[in-house]
Chains A and B, each alone.
Chain A
């Protein structure tokens, strides 16, 4: 079965960077794009962008452009999200999701807390 397993919770100081991983299994890794979402407490998911897992081409939401980078390691079937210059607004759960044109499978989420 399709599984997306994310790395564990993180606590960071303002201005720092965070890296979250998303390991895919149960399907052909390069067949589908992986998207990332941020969900702040009590809010709905917010789309951050996506990475084509075959070519590595990325597209970022304007809101996060310049502050986020997605990469992938095809041999490890893993996608990485790095978010820089963290603020309290980035205290949220971050999700990766496989796209079939809709978000068919989701990781379990990685809580990130930004606090001084």
Chain B
């Protein structure tokens, strides 16, 4: 199964700036079931994007996902103060589910 590597480890940006988070798979993913989650301290993760590019219910349109094969991206078009936290990508395979190591987004 693919290993998911996220970069950068940390992003420190100001409100209004654009954030681009990368998730790279060690081999082409078997399907498009790549999701992105946001986790704030002390809270459970919440899904932002599923199946690579679909926004989950209630997620603002400043969040978008794209990619295929081995390279996937989460873009936050204009950062809001509440967007701080750790972001994880995750792939659902046939019998294995894997998470990336996370990117921490800090708001300056």
Cβ contacts under 8 Å, B96 to chain A: 47, 61
Q: Does B92 contact A (CB under 8 A)?
A: yes
Residue interface bits A25-53, CB-to-B below 8 A is 1, else 0: 00000000001000000001111001000
Residue interface bits B21-51, CB-to-A below 8 A is 1, else 0: 0000000000001010100000011110011
Given the interface pairs A35-B97, A101-B50, the reply to whether A44 lies near B102 with Cβ below 8 Å is yes
Q: Which has the most chain B C-beta neighbours within 10 Å: A45, A59, A95, A100?
A: A45
Cβ contacts under 8 Å, A102 to chain B: 33, 35, 47, 50-51, 90, 92
Q: 12 A-B residue contacts at CB 8 Å? A: A44-B86, A44-B100, A45-B45, A45-B90, A47-B97, A61-B96, A95-B45, A101-B92, A102-B50, A104-B47, A104-B56, A106-B44
CA distance A112 to B37 in the complex (A): 23
Whether the Cβ atoms of B47 and A95 lie closer than 8 Å is no
In this complex, how many residues of chain A approach chain B with their Cβ under 8 Å: the count is: 19
In this complex, how many residues of chain B approach chain A with their Cβ under 8 Å: the count is: 22
Q: Which one of A35, A61, A100, A109 contacts B44 once the chains associate, using CB atoms below 8 Å?
A: A109
Cβ contacts under 8 Å, A44 to chain B: 86, 88, 99-102
Of all chain A residues, the one with the shortest Cβ separation from B49 is: A102
Given the interface pairs A44-B88, A44-B100, A101-B50, the reply to whether A106 lies near B95 with Cβ below 8 Å is no
CA distance A50 to B46 in the complex (A): 18
Cβ contacts under 8 Å, B77 to chain A: none
CA distance A50 to B92 in the complex (A): 12
CA distance A91 to B45 in the complex (A): 18
Given the interface pairs A44-B102, A101-B51, A102-B90, the reply to whether A107 lies near B97 with Cβ below 8 Å is no
CA distance A106 to B35 in the complex (A): 14
Residue interface bits B81-108, CB-to-A below 8 A is 1, else 0: 0000010101010011111111000000
